[in-house]
Structure 1
Amino acid sequence: MNKLIILFVLLSQIVFAQTKQMSLEDAVYGRYSYLMPKSINGFVWKNDAVFTQIADSALVAETVKKAERSVVLTLEELNTITGAQLRNFPTYKWLKNGMLQINSANRYAVIDSEQKQVVYQIMLPKAAANAVFCEEGKFVTFTKGDDLYLAFSNGDVKQITTDGGNGIVNGQTVHRNEFGISGGIFTSPKGNYVAFYRKDESMVHDYPLVDFMAREAEYVPVKYPMAGLKSHHVTLGVYNIESGETTFLKTGEPLDHFLTNVAWSPDEKQIYMAELNREQNHMQLNCYAVATGDRMKTLFEEESDKYVEPLYPIQFSKANPNDFYYLSRNDGWFHVYKYNIDGTLLKQITKGEWEVTRIIGFDKDEKNMFVEGTLESPLEKHIYKVQLKSGEVTKLSSTTGIHRGALSPNGTYLADKWNAKEVFGKTDLISSKGTLIRNLFEAEDPLKDYQLGENSLVTLKTADGETDLYGRLIKPVNFDPNKKYPVVVYVYGGPHSQLVNKGWHNGARWWQYYMASQGYLAFTLDNRGTLNRGRDFETAIHRQLGVFETEDQMQGIEYLKSLPYVDTDRIGVHGWSYGGFMTLNLKLKYPEVFKVGVAGGPVVDWSLYEVMYGERYMDTPQENPEGYKTADMTSYVENLEGKLMLIHGVQDETVVMQHSMKFLRECVKQNKQVDFFAYPIHEHNVRGKDRVHLMTKVSQYFFGNL
């Protein structure tokens, strides 16, 4: 009897604790701050026996075998020896020589952590950006304005380029961050050279943006290459630090092709680079001589009747510097291939209808490779060991969820950082055989006091019944199956996205929980064109954006209509960017289904979108006029019924305001009523404290109209 009383009390406490309702402020601010699970902070392998992390304002080391902890360096000690005034321990890494390198703001310091002494510091000017540290050369490459500079450990600063400005940009990202590009500086392995992008966008139209916050509104143009129009020209320069000379690779014509996946040979004599034609259907992996800039050879080519999208540079073998590994979708799925420098394919290492999403690394003798991938399910990511000789795959992560691995230098151990639907965040130490050594960190549930709607995954089929589609449904708080509830569909639907998975809360946004707390069903579906499903699933949308995506989303609607607790007369849809485009597709093509829509930063006309992304999926307007016409949302304004709001950032450089203006003008011409709100000073999305204003506006639009 006493046990039953105790159990009743415990259950009562749990029920009582979970009565807090999620506010809009919680949904907006909390998702990335106080309602985000804590994680192990700054985990880095020092060597194969020791790892470090940041804890209690100090860098702490821990041994793998005995779990012995020791303080490497406190924040107070760091500030004392560097002369900094840091409030938090900064980003750091362990160098090959055992020294500690930290960087914060414009300070780069190399520290002997045992002696607690600074070996050298490099201070960058306040205007420095895009900084890249080179351990071997003891320098930092950075940009200031549109030119490139070197700052050395002896205090010297050298300017590498002098032609920046007036449409010339050096050392920065190019091709609008497509093709896996995230930077424009590539330091050679031994630190003798710096390769860098040089972008000439002088031929690209100055797109008009206006700063309305100035005393007199100011014209602040940006370069925006639109589909089918002139695109910028990119070359790759190689700066020789000893001679002070720059050699540009002779990448030839046409000048508007794409250069990406830059990789140095281990001996610094060659640069390997993926080159893609503007049509994006033919890729060459080319090798260039560093000394002359001449093209030495084309190792291999990839072609497609749709598009080729190189995303990853080659990785040279440490066991044999004449071999390299390449991650490609050549057979329809991202897999690892091994080549030699003559371009001969030695072996396809991984195979099957699953995606390798990342190469983590190799063991000491390079007999095994460690990767992350989707072998279990496209809704999960796991850590795998792949025997290079046989191709045998062994799953090392043991639990359903989203796993990410950090491999020790010799490949003996991994830190497995993972989460799952009800696992808020764990980091486990495992051996390279998959044996759990111990748990390093387990987060507390930041939502434990909140009453949340039931969150479940659903599997549907495409209209032809051939392909699985994955969705997520969140039910209202205090759900009553005998009631009828309105639905808000949250959609994105574009390439490189995946909104539904088996991670924490199945990948849900907290705003969806907020809407559930207000009595709404919240539904999301990943349609064809989205991530981790293979080439055919993604490229089905080629030349006809919005067609198959909308068809798949309507399969989700049919599922919702089959549920007895769905009020089929009260279905709304909201999305941003590609999701704004999809919101318009759904609202305008199925006005009888969607009572309310809120489209944020929507693509209205793909001919107004940029070259690299737009032409990959649609070709040019000249080549595909029917496809562009079909995907132009102004073509469907005549269907507009119910309530629709467009929201746009005034300074948007991704989906320019022209999209919304064109749509609004068509609504006026056809005497269709539509609501519109603009966010001054904001770019493609509304961030910071103003985001609460945005999501209040979105939410209230549904409250008042759905």
Structure 2
Amino acid sequence: MNKLKLTALLYFFILWSGQSYAQQKKNVSLEDVFKSNTFNQKSVYGINWMKDGQYYSSLQRGLTGPKVVKINVTTGEESETLIDGGALGINFSSYSFNPEETKALIASEVESIYRRSSKGVYHVVDLKNGSSQKLMDGEKIMYATLSPDNDKVAFVKDNNLYFIELESKEVTQITLDGKRNHIINGAADWVYEEEFSMSKAFDWSPDGKKIAFIRFDETEVPEFNMQTWGKLYPEDYRFKYPKAGEKNALVSIHIYDLDSKKTVKVDTGEESDIYLPRIYWTGDVSTLAFLKMNRLQNQLDLMYANANSGESKLILQEKADTYVDLDYNDDLRFLEGDKGFIRTSEQDGFKHVYHHDNEGKLIRQITSGNWEVTNLVGVDEKNKKIYYISTEASPLERNLYVINMDGKGKKILTPEKGTTSVNMSRDFKYYIANHSSANSPLRVTLNEASGKLVKVLEENAELKSAIANYNISPREFFTFNTVDGTSLNAYMIKPADFDGNKKYPVLMYVYGGPGSQNVTNSWGGTRDFWHHHLASEGYIVVCVDNRGTGARGRDFKHITYANLGKFETEDQIAGAKHLGSLPYVDKSRIGIWGWSYGGYMSSLALMIGNDVFKSAIAVAPVTTWRYYDTIYTERYLQTPQMNAAGYDNYSPITHVNSLKGNLLLIHGTGDDNVHFQNAVDLVDALVKADKQFETMYYPNRNHGIYGGNTTWHLYSLMTDFIKRKL
């Protein structure tokens, strides 16, 4: 065989091998996503920084049970086991240390209540001798918290606030009037928990001699009733849920003095129809700070209260023509040595960091620009530096920065493209970074404060290896202009064997709610890989962040004020029309799906955009904002009494006569958040309008619609609908 023939044969073999390898790649199946969990990524869980900054602790699960190990920062090696669940005979799921790291609180048998609330069996572990003490003889309690002096634990039980002396085991009941569906002491009601992201509503003073707590009187709040199925006679589950325009709980702040055994009520003003979403000890044991908002949430007051008398004074006030977003005003850090406080606000149009003195006077705005600080990571008072995450590089990115407290010396510490979140050590010498991008899974690293890499803790090598065996197209980002000329961010997932000469059906995925964001340069989860499965079946999947979403400033977000649904729907329709103009899109086969606010959006888009969308799936949708809670709804729409048109003009129920395409409506009957009532009333309206549609209800499932075989069933159902109707 001559050299030329040998070369040709070798080239053919290489080419054939490459094609053969490519052909061996698999498409993403439903079983891969929901049965075998092929694409689940790993992380590092339960990390707590130790007080000296040279160690951190991590919760790990082994064959003998959970354990908390102490890890050397510089070497990455485990130095000792701090809590051994196997040896203690306790299968705990969470832990926390006291400041001195001599004791720990661990929780087991934890039972979820709502989104953030839970109760469980708590033990106090002595880290010196390894012994444990079970609290309240194993009775389930809520929010157990060690006192700063380490000899007491405060907790909530049966809507009352207690504390227990660890040495004597003597229990003191601070409040006596707690009663289900009437009075709650030290824990949030349903709507505060859901919309203000709080569940525990008490806090020890820095010296451990006082406990401040919020009391909720929900006696006059209307009850909502859900039936639970599965028994001969279904049972009623009743809980207080203030729907838009209805009565809220009356809230008040109280401070209990352990020495005098007396409780002082804090003066929060004459107005009773208010919100008290935060309490903070300032560091001064005699001063409690709290936030107060009016019912419409367009005014926020920072108040200081005398912890002994309850007298209060206004320190800082912020007003808006639309609303003041608590999420953008919640990073409040009190500085030592009477040096004031650091806060965040979007008062200049973008969320930034501000420094005020103790009387509320502005010292300086520390960060500025047409970008947002998404998270205030920490304030290093010793070195006068502030660490924060921002969108300065792009609304799609999240990077860690450091800046001097005088607003100078700004430096990016994580310049790589993608999304980074940070857990920083208490001495600001190290941080753990969680980084991912749209096409690269989570990478967890330990870094020096300068950004220098110390050690890779997790890089999901197994997941990367598994993905290499599948036909997966990278997420492609693009922009287009909506009806008013605003540029919108979007991404697209194409079939791996995409052919620009073919015409493809498109499924759009939407959430679209105020301040939300789906189009980011970050790794997706299970839902994202379901989209990859659909791509492998020949669909293009697209996601558009409409006007009203986050990371692009106050004006972009607040445009939807008093008129939810209008601009968001216009933008999703504009997105579909843009896609329909592309040469490789079959504009007669464009569908849309979403969950919760996204279900609301997909329903509206199918009805209002009936000439654009062929099919829609609405999972757990709000169908009228009259049925949703006060805090969320009134923040964006005012009350129904003030703005009836804002509630009704863009309710899917209002537009049922416009339905032409295929609708699949899905809801859980046990949804405590977006009630099944929303689906029932939409179904009733559709029937009256003589519109055909498909529906599925999941008995007793909550807003997440999961448990057992539920997720598999749900996504199989939606996949079948898409294949039949798109």
Matched residue, 2:241: 224
1:26 aligns with one of 32, 36, 56: 32
Partner Cα separation in structure 1 for residue 555 and residue 398 of structure 2: 20
Partner Cα separation in structure 1 for residue 122 and residue 80 of structure 2: 20
Work out whether residues 274 and 310 of structure 1, in 8 Å CA contact, stay in contact via their aligned partners in 2.
no
- Consecutive unaligned residues of structure 2, counting only runs of 5 or more, are 1-6, 109-120
Matched residue, 1:660: 679
Q: How big is the shift at 1:618?
A: 0.6
Matched residue, 2:370: 353
Q: Map 1:608-623 onto structure 2 (within 5 A).
A: 608-623=627-642
Q: Which amino acid aligns with 1:125?
A: G
Partner Cα separation in structure 2 for residue 138 and residue 600 of structure 1: 48
* Aligned CA distance change for structure 1 residues 508 and 398 (closer, same or farther; 3 Å): farther
* Aligned CA distance change for structure 1 residues 184 and 623 (closer, same or farther; 3 Å): same
Of the structure 1 ranges 323-332 and 48-57, higher mean CA displacement relative to structure 2 is found in: 48-57
2:536 aligns with one of 513, 517, 538: 517
Partner Cα separation in structure 1 for residue 647 and residue 260 of structure 2: 51
Q: Deviations over 1:97-155 (max 9, x none)?
A: 2436251312333443xx55338664663331233333434333222222222233222
Q: How big is the shift at 1:55?
A: 5.6
Q: How big is the shift at 1:348?
A: 1.1
2:415 aligns with one of 370, 386, 398: 398
Work out whether residues 407 and 413 of structure 1, in 8 Å CA contact, stay in contact via their aligned partners in 2.
yes
Matched residue, 1:263: 280
Q: Which amino acid aligns with 1:24?
A: L
2:264 aligns with one of 234, 238, 247: 247
Paired positions, count: 693
Matched residue, 1:680: 699
* 1:97 counterpart = 2:104: no
Partner Cα separation in structure 1 for residue 332 and residue 133 of structure 2: 31
1:499 aligns with one of 518, 522, 525: 518
Q: Map 1:355-374 onto structure 2 (within 5 A).
A: 355-363=372-380, 365-374=382-391
Of the structure 1 ranges 156-165 and 428-437, higher mean CA displacement relative to structure 2 is found in: 428-437
Q: Deviations over 1:491-535 (max 9, x none)?
A: 110024211111125996222112112221111111111122211
* 1:167 counterpart = 2:171: no
Q: Deviations over 1:629-662 (max 9, x none)?
A: 2122222111111211211211222122222222
Partner Cα separation in structure 2 for residue 13 and residue 161 of structure 1: 73
Structure-1-length-normalised TM-score: 0.92
* Aligned CA distance change for structure 1 residues 484 and 63 (closer, same or farther; 3 Å): same
* Aligned CA distance change for structure 1 residues 221 and 54 (closer, same or farther; 3 Å): closer
* Aligned CA distance change for structure 1 residues 508 and 601 (closer, same or farther; 3 Å): closer
Matched residue, 2:116: none
Q: How big is the shift at 1:364?
A: 5.7
Q: Deviations over 1:289-345 (max 9, x none)?
A: 1112222x1011111111112235464444433411111111111111111221111
Matched residue, 1:286: 303
SS in 2 for 1:504: coil
Q: Deviations over 1:274-300 (max 9, x none)?
A: 1110011111111111112222x1011
2:583 aligns with one of 539, 549, 564: 564
* Aligned CA distance change for structure 1 residues 445 and 479 (closer, same or farther; 3 Å): farther
Matched residue, 2:492: 473
Q: How big is the shift at 1:383?
A: 0.7
Of the structure 1 ranges 257-266 and 47-56, higher mean CA displacement relative to structure 2 is found in: 47-56
SS in 2 for 1:637: helix
Partner Cα separation in structure 1 for residue 23 and residue 149 of structure 2: 59
Matched residue, 1:49: 54
Q: Which amino acid aligns with 1:22?
A: V
2:659 aligns with one of 640, 650, 661: 640
Structure-2-length-normalised TM-score: 0.89
* Aligned CA distance change for structure 1 residues 244 and 630 (closer, same or farther; 3 Å): same
Identity over aligned residues, as a percent?
Answer: 31
SS in 2 for 1:107: strand
Q: How big is the shift at 1:686?
A: 0.6
Matched residue, 1:127: 140
Work out whether residues 62 and 70 of structure 1, in 8 Å CA contact, stay in contact via their aligned partners in 2.
yes
SS in 2 for 1:117: coil
Q: Which amino acid aligns with 1:400?
A: K
Partner Cα separation in structure 1 for residue 447 and residue 246 of structure 2: 52
Of the structure 1 ranges 189-198 and 545-554, higher mean CA displacement relative to structure 2 is found in: 189-198
Work out whether residues 443 and 460 of structure 2, in 8 Å CA contact, stay in contact via their aligned partners in 1.
yes
* 1:157 counterpart = 2:171: yes
* Aligned CA distance change for structure 1 residues 317 and 164 (closer, same or farther; 3 Å): closer
1:73 aligns with one of 81, 84, 100: 81
SS in 1 for 2:579: helix
Work out whether residues 73 and 116 of structure 1, in 8 Å CA contact, stay in contact via their aligned partners in 2.
no
